[in-house]
Amino acid sequence: MRFALHWPRTLASRLWLIFLTGLILAQALSFGAQYYERYQSTKTAMLGNFENDTATAIAILDRLPAAERPEWTKRLQRRNYTYLLSEHYPGVPLISDNLAATVAHSLKASLGRDYDLTFVEIPGPREHFQAQLQLSDGSPVTIDVRPSVRPLSPWLPLVLLCQLLLMIGCVWLAVRIAIRPLSHLAKAVENLDPNAPPVQLNENGPREVAYAARAFNTMQACIADYLKERMQLLAAISHDLQTPITRMKLRAEFMDDSAEKDKLGNDLNEIEHLVREGVAYARSIHGATEASCRINLDSFLDSLVFDYQDTGQEVSLSGKNGLVIETRPHALRRILVNLVDNALKYAGNAEVIIAGNPSTGVSISVLDRGPGISEDALAEVTKPFYRVESSRNRSTGGAGLGLAIAQQLAMAIGGSLSLSNREGGGLCVTLNLGSNK
């Protein structure tokens, strides 16, 4: 089975991996070199001290009376070796490639010229050997040695751990500094809204970050200018078309009554309606420029529904929440009028339902029992001039801009539209507004 290594998916994870791996490897290499150097230095110092100390100790014991030697062996013992006034323990021959053999060779170099030495290794969990010799009076002395080299101080692992934590902290700070501008740029791109005032990125910081921020701010300005120009062009064309259409309608009035006159009048009415919708769509982009004010939402919806009921339209209102919200009332009214008009056009009645609270936001739904919209077309109907031909044709007077205008204005006031089909038939269009009070 083959295992493939894959890079982490996020840039932060990759930087973490590269920095930490490099720092840990560099730290391990530095620690290994330092450990080896300290081991060799400690070993050399230990062997030098051992040679001098054992030579001095044996010389003292050789010159002392036999009765005083036991007392002096206690004074001469060290952490790694002691002196026994007896023969060595049973053991095995020394291995020539371990630390005990190196220490034994050093001991033989210091005492071998004056004494005959016998070495045995004592089996056990750690290295242990004994060297036996005879003093000038024939008394046996055994040097019991447990060689060990301690190149590291007990506090050094704690220092290394603190150093590792410091490196992790520095890596975290470096990754955060490197990633933060990219995160801000990605968030700004994600929230880019041509209908809202552009949010300028901070152009301070490193040269690359400042360059990217300037490029993004320039791109925002270009998009805004481009959309403004296109909307102005659409508004100008739609507005200029109204004059010739009016002249054509006046001329048609002087024609003799005939079927052709009626068809021409219907076509002109349809063209005039389409032009007015185009002007309305072009002007909807300016919904964000309307001044905001606080309104009582219940009273606002009551007024809207009563206006329809006064003209004999079947429009009802359900739900009360007593919210006072800050919004652009003319844009909000235009959104709801478009939604209610659509419901009346295709179903003959409309139901307005308000729901929500100050913490979760408020939603206003417009429901009808019309033909509805196919599921694959729900995401397309808010696009300009998109029409569902199977049920919403020219005979209804639709130009494909009602929902597009509502969507444009909803974005301009900080909301969103969502569409869904109702069980049993019909359409539900919901305007979701942010929580404010």
The reply to whether 181 falls in a domain is no
Distance of alpha carbon 400 from the chain centroid: 40
The reply to whether 174 falls in a domain is no
Same domain for 281 and 343: no
pLDDT for 288 beyond 60: no
CATH number for the domain harbouring residue 235: 1.10.287.130
Same domain for 259 and 381: no
- Measure the CA–CA gap between 354 and 362, rounded to whole angstroms: 7
Same domain for 259 and 239: yes
SS3 5: coil
Higher pLDDT, 132 or 96: 132
The reply to whether 369 falls in a domain is yes
Higher pLDDT, 284 or 138: 138
The reply to whether 157 falls in a domain is no
Same domain for 310 and 278: no
Domain extent, residue 17, equals: 11-145
At which of 125, 145, 165 does a domain end?
145
The reply to whether 41 falls in a domain is yes
Q: What is the pLDDT of residues 48-83, one digit of tens each?
A: 787 888 888 888 888 888 888 888 888 888 888 888
Higher pLDDT, 150 or 164: 164
At 32, list the tokens: 């290994």
Same domain for 112 and 16: yes
CATH number for the domain harbouring residue 408: 3.30.565.10
Structure confidence at residue 390 as a pLDDT band (50, 70, 90): very low
Higher pLDDT, 100 or 435: 100
At which of 268, 288, 308 does a domain end?
288
The reply to whether 401 falls in a domain is yes
Same domain for 282 and 309: no
The reply to whether 341 falls in a domain is yes
Mean pLDDT over 326-333 rounds to: 84
What pLDDT score was predicted for residue 391? 45
What is the 8-class DSSP label of residue 430?
Answer: E
Least confident of 2-11, 22-31, 332-341: 2-11
Least confident of 106-115, 267-276, 329-338, 387-396: 387-396
Same domain for 309 and 262: no
- Measure the CA–CA gap between 356 and 354, rounded to whole angstroms: 7
Q: Is the pTM of this model over 0.85?
A: no
Structure confidence at residue 389 as a pLDDT band (50, 70, 90): low
Same domain for 203 and 140: no
Smallest CA-to-CA distance from 430 within 412, 397, 406, 414 is with 406
Mean pLDDT over 145-149 rounds to: 80
Same domain for 302 and 349: yes
Structure confidence at residue 359 as a pLDDT band (50, 70, 90): low
Query: Looking at the 3D structure of the chain, how many domains does it have?
Result: 3
The reply to whether 384 falls in a domain is yes
- Measure the CA–CA gap between 306 and 382, rounded to whole angstroms: 27
Q: Which residues pair with 364 in a beta bridge?
A: 354, 431
Smallest CA-to-CA distance from 412 within 196, 221, 256 is with 196
Same domain for 427 and 302: yes
What pLDDT score was predicted for residue 394? 46
Same domain for 36 and 141: yes
Structure confidence at residue 290 as a pLDDT band (50, 70, 90): low
Same domain for 121 and 244: no
CATH number for the domain harbouring residue 25: 3.30.450.300
